[in-house]
């Protein structure tokens, strides 16, 4: 059971394997070609910062509607949060099952727990717990092959 902001305990909600996560990616962590066209995400976009215990993302299927509706609503939830994406930033989309599989098959076999942990400023917030730290090779693999669909902030209404 999870405890949020001192409220009564709530049941832990794990994000299903066939659902997707959307993660904010600053412009500096987007992979670009020689013409500055965004072609992907750098592994650094998934690196935990000092003091972070988990990787933050937004649960797309929390929102109803078509896939495009879910993307739009997830981006809008992030924009309405304390995080303020810039015009040139983007968002990476990855499937929970593929993210977990990549981490589990790594030589250190990371076992992730991806939990819906609503926050006051983002009801669809997800915490990716057990996320690898200091594993740049794995983060590059995840950026290249798994959490690799990119949508640009400027392209979302």
Quick one: CA torsion of 130, 89, 31, 36, rounded to 10 degrees? -170
Q: For the chain, report the end-to-end CA distance as a whole number of angstroms.
A: 36
pLDDT by residue (tens digit) across 106-128? 888 899 999 999 999 999 999 99
H runs (alpha helix) in 40-126 = 67-79, 96-105
Domain ranges of the chain: 20-155
pLDDT of amino acid 7: 56
pLDDT by residue (tens digit) across 36-95? 999 999 999 999 999 999 999 999 999 999 999 999 999 999 999 999 999 999 999 999
């Amino acid at each position: 059971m999870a405890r949020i902001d001192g409220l009564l305990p709530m049941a832990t909600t794990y994000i299903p394997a066939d659902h997707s996560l959307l993660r904010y990616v600053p412009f500096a962590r987007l992979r670009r070609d020689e013409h500055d066209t965004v072609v992907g995400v750098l592994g650094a976009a998934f690196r935990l910062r000092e003091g972070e215990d988990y990787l933050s993302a937004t649960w797309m299927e929390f929102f109803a509607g078509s896939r495009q509706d879910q993307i739009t609503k997830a981006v809008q939830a992030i924009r309405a949060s304390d995080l303020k994406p810039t015009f040139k930033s983007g968002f990476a989309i990855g499937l929970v099952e593929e993210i977990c599989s990549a981490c589990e098959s790594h030589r250190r076999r990371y076992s992730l727990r991806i939990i819906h942990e609503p926050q006051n400023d983002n009801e669809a917030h997800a915490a990716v717990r057990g996320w690898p730290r200091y594993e740049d090779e794995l983060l590059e693999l995840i950026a290249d092959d798994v959490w690799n669909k990119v949508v640009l902030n400027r392209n979302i209404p």
